[in-house]
Structure 1
């Protein structure tokens, strides 16, 4: 059973009087045991450690700097926060100059106003840049060495995303509501910062903006060479721009090189993506998160083919809202499911997805903590830090802890036959397709070099692994066909030879249109989910 979703990106503003029963929490009963999956406000997990911020912080944008210090900004507390993972605590909190909130509310009540901070980056000089929406000062720079802030008024609106070009030091950004792509370039040495806690950096940096057209709504950014890739989320396009520089290597213009789909595309091609929010270019593929469609999607630039991979279903929400996309170790791609309440890692080599449940969840808001943002640790890209906007927390996900199980199949292609019926006959049942796969117990799951404790060998609640399906057939990633497993669950503690064979039975009894799709077969213990994706062909 599912609850109606809310697309409001500020769930704190919603009515929170909904009863817990309306969230449709459930237990799965196996024999005499009750296996909690999604029915609690907190899940014990060895993969994630959470740290509490001061009440009323409301963290969103987050950064891990070059030395491993975590930075986040309180959208409600109006503070820049520095957190030391080695000490496991906040080591400094810097109030953002209050005149940034001068016009935030009619009563000028700084403490009650909210200024969303979506983007935080560290430039090549070590300064921390962050945006601040609904503020007279939409962009700030903070120097950790002097502990001083500077504001920039040259940007037309608060940047939605910021990306640093590690070759040139330029900072590129998008303004979602103002339809701009912009670049910040350093033109001189700052002389004012040390003596003024709220000085202007307009004279120290050059800001150049490029109008992308009305209702383009640019969000995600990816820099590669002289190319700047942008997702235009509400008109469902991916656009490649080339940066044009003058003899001094200063960016003076951008030229559109490629638009996907193009304005001359057929009506079918115009619906290639659904709210693409972020983008990464790996090899021949452009990888995007489709925010409103539960997909991470690969677009092959050479063949112009699209392959969509649905994340696993969530019992409380119709959509999981995959959001930002970041590169991880070994060609992996991280993304946050802020309504699915999970951090996810997609392996672009073996095409598998691992989703880690965030421990904290709010039953009054559909069992989510609202992880709106995350950052990959540049020192150890197996570690990911994320913010929990609804609960004044930040969290560390450590993939050094191995999973207790694995799912695999030798089947890489599944064919579904269409239902047929002769004239005058009732429609016949579709042919059943059988997919064989295996669940195996990971014997190394108690061996971890991580500081996060591994799975407890005596925790019977999480020895049970359940199965579920997804597909790219439908908008919400639902397998639009009848599907049943030969076993509804597997008890890892009772496996013979540490392996179990399972079968998935599928029938195309909903007359799915012929085409090529992907089939997601997932195994979960309620704390982590692993999904494999054989190709799905409907004839």
Structure 2
């Protein structure tokens, strides 16, 4: 399936002309509608890889919904101000709308939607509503940014001047301009909605940074001062961060840490720091825009058949927490920068051919705090309810340590369970010494690797770390976690080498 995995970054979208609206009711366990005409000529292997098995696999925190149109290959997703969930069916060329209150789907055909052969659709990574309620989204194969007027039901398409640019994200500035990033065009672009004309490139301006030695572009955001930030990379060796000042028409370049393989997700926190996900490793990090200091963190090690979790896109919520999806880790994660704690919610396992990930490629936060996401190869959307109580907490008073060769350092950890556990609570640890998150060249010993709670209580665990040889010098972090019933709760310890 290597050829399928590679296509995640380069895929396309299918030929359906005209647009109309179809309302579909949802019943748990139903079979999605057949779309055999769309998949004509697609091999059974590829159908299995892209369409899923049609089985809903919800758990305590995450509820899945089967998309009515078979093999929709949905990616982009956003939630409107009324709580309705919008998503892009990249293979079948539709906008899907799901009402959580009625559990009913609505589907709107997108005009002139193009696909490739072998059943791969036009990837839609970015979907956002402007203040007027218009939905803007990217169209890879159409090489365009599209707009859907939710009041009139009218679609418009704005053609990007650079051919084969692969638009990936959209963002709005204070003046209402629409900014977008180009994966292969290696440019950022701006659409002036007042000047844009349907079916043309009018009203679009592109800006090209110095992309010498860089192959592709990641996410784009507009910060609180109106500057444009984005990432670029040459996978898997070089990652850079760029800032564009629209008033000065000036680019500034920042080099990211050695080993950064694929910086993609980027978001600004309430203090003006940038949080960046490395979608080629287990790592994510904070970039202080004033001091340019970088602090790296690791997710827990994947529970799927993958070496790294691949943190992907990220969003900040109204509490200042950073949410992100773990592509190969098959989880939705939230990091609290104040407490330096990480919670990872496992998604029910996907197909073996994908290493058991469901390919949760995009997600969005709803006004009620729930997290909605697509499962590209399962033909589903799903919702995580983070308001539900978590049975575990983990803490330590040893918030920083120093590691020296052949010297043992011990961290005392308190693991609290608010309920009786019916399966083992498993301890785990990861760190930022190498990109996989594993504690390379360190002997790791927990006094107890598994805990059982017969009643609500707190247990103490000791973690001993003994470096066997040289470690990368400098400042690092380790994440010490407790895992139970599909939840991993981790806390950060800072490490000086």
2:462 alignment counterpart: 503
1:301 alignment counterpart: 289
SS of the equivalent of 1:364 reads helix
Unaligned regions of 5+ residues in structure 1, if any? 18-40, 191-199, 245-252, 262-268, 419-429, 444-456
Q: Separation in 1 of the partners of 2:119 and 2:490?
A: 43
1:353-368 map, 5 Å = 353-368=342-357
User: Does the CA contact (< 8 Å) of 2:196 and 2:204 recur in 1?
Assistant: no
Q: Which is further off, 217-226 or 467-476?
A: 217-226
Equivalent residue in structure 2 for 1:521, among 471, 480, 491: 480
User: Does the CA contact (< 8 Å) of 1:5 and 1:318 recur in 2?
Assistant: no
Q: Separation in 1 of the partners of 2:249 and 2:100?
A: 40
1:264 alignment counterpart: none
1:303-322 map, 5 Å = 303-315=291-303, 316-322=305-311
Equivalent residue in structure 2 for 1:460, among 409, 422, 425: 422
User: Does the CA contact (< 8 Å) of 1:5 and 1:319 recur in 2?
Assistant: no
1:206 alignment counterpart: 203
Alpha carbons of structure 1 residues 478 and 113: separation in structure 2 relative to 1, 3 Å: closer
SS of the equivalent of 2:113 reads helix
Query: Displacement, 1:78?
Result: 1.1
Q: Separation in 1 of the partners of 2:45 and 2:476?
A: 39
When the two structures are aligned, how many residues end up with a matched partner? 446
User: Does the CA contact (< 8 Å) of 2:58 and 2:64 recur in 1?
Assistant: no
1:444-459 map, 5 Å = none
Tell whether 2:333 aligns with 1:335.
no
Q: Separation in 2 of the partners of 1:511 and 1:4?
A: 35
Alpha carbons of structure 1 residues 216 and 8: separation in structure 2 relative to 1, 3 Å: closer
Q: Which is further off, 219-228 or 145-154?
A: 145-154
Q: Which is further off, 401-410 or 121-130?
A: 121-130
1:175 alignment counterpart: 182
Query: Displacement, 1:222?
Result: 1.8
1:472 alignment counterpart: 432
Equivalent residue in structure 2 for 1:346, among 335, 338, 349: 335
Q: TM-score, normalised by structure 2?
A: 0.83
Q: Which is further off, 509-518 or 481-490?
A: 509-518
2:412 alignment counterpart: 436
Query: Displacement, 1:493?
Result: 2.6
Q: Deviations over 1:7-55 (max 9, x none)?
A: 52539999969xxxxxxxxxxxxxxxxxxxxxxx987532111111022
Q: Deviations over 1:193-222 (max 9, x none)?
A: xxxxxxx2548x611111224435222112
1:236-385 map, 5 Å = 236-244=239-247, 254-256=249-251, 258-261=252-255, 271=258, 273-282=260-269, 283=271, 285-315=273-303, 316-377=305-366, 379-380=367-368, 382-385=369-372
Alpha carbons of structure 1 residues 43 and 500: separation in structure 2 relative to 1, 3 Å: farther
Q: Separation in 2 of the partners of 1:50 and 1:416?
A: 44
User: Does the CA contact (< 8 Å) of 2:77 and 2:127 recur in 1?
Assistant: yes
User: Does the CA contact (< 8 Å) of 1:16 and 1:365 recur in 2?
Assistant: no
SS of the equivalent of 1:81 reads strand
Tell whether 2:86 aligns with 1:71.
yes
Q: Separation in 1 of the partners of 2:75 and 2:45?
A: 20
Tell whether 2:486 aligns with 1:486.
no
Query: Displacement, 1:373?
Result: 0.5
Alpha carbons of structure 1 residues 465 and 396: separation in structure 2 relative to 1, 3 Å: same
Q: Deviations over 1:384-435 (max 9, x none)?
A: 11100010001111110111110000111122221xxxxxxxxxxx232211
Query: Displacement, 1:338?
Result: 0.9
Q: Separation in 1 of the partners of 2:44 and 2:404?
A: 47
SS of the equivalent of 2:319 reads helix
User: Does the CA contact (< 8 Å) of 1:181 and 1:218 recur in 2?
Assistant: no
2:6 alignment counterpart: 8
Q: TM-score, normalised by structure 1?
A: 0.77
Query: Displacement, 1:155?
Result: 4.6
Q: Deviations over 1:445-484 (max 9, x none)?
A: xxxxxxxxxxxx7x724xx310111010112111121111
Alpha carbons of structure 1 residues 466 and 67: separation in structure 2 relative to 1, 3 Å: same
Answer with 1 or 2: which has the greater Rg.
1
User: Does the CA contact (< 8 Å) of 1:42 and 1:359 recur in 2?
Assistant: no
Alpha carbons of structure 1 residues 155 and 66: separation in structure 2 relative to 1, 3 Å: farther
Equivalent residue in structure 2 for 1:133, among 140, 145, 167: 140
SS of the equivalent of 1:303 reads coil
Query: Displacement, 1:113?
Result: 4.7
1:6-85 map, 5 Å = 8-10=6-8, 45-53=59-67, 54-85=69-100
Q: Separation in 2 of the partners of 1:399 and 1:525?
A: 16
Q: Separation in 1 of the partners of 2:43 and 2:334?
A: 30
Query: Displacement, 1:4?
Result: 9.9
Equivalent residue in structure 2 for 1:100, among 113, 116, 126: 113
User: Does the CA contact (< 8 Å) of 1:471 and 1:520 recur in 2?
Assistant: yes
SS of the equivalent of 2:454 reads helix
Q: Which is further off, 56-65 or 215-224?
A: 215-224
SS of the equivalent of 1:236 reads strand
User: Does the CA contact (< 8 Å) of 1:439 and 1:501 recur in 2?
Assistant: yes
Query: Displacement, 1:164?
Result: 2.0
Query: Displacement, 1:145?
Result: 1.9
User: Does the CA contact (< 8 Å) of 1:309 and 1:472 recur in 2?
Assistant: yes
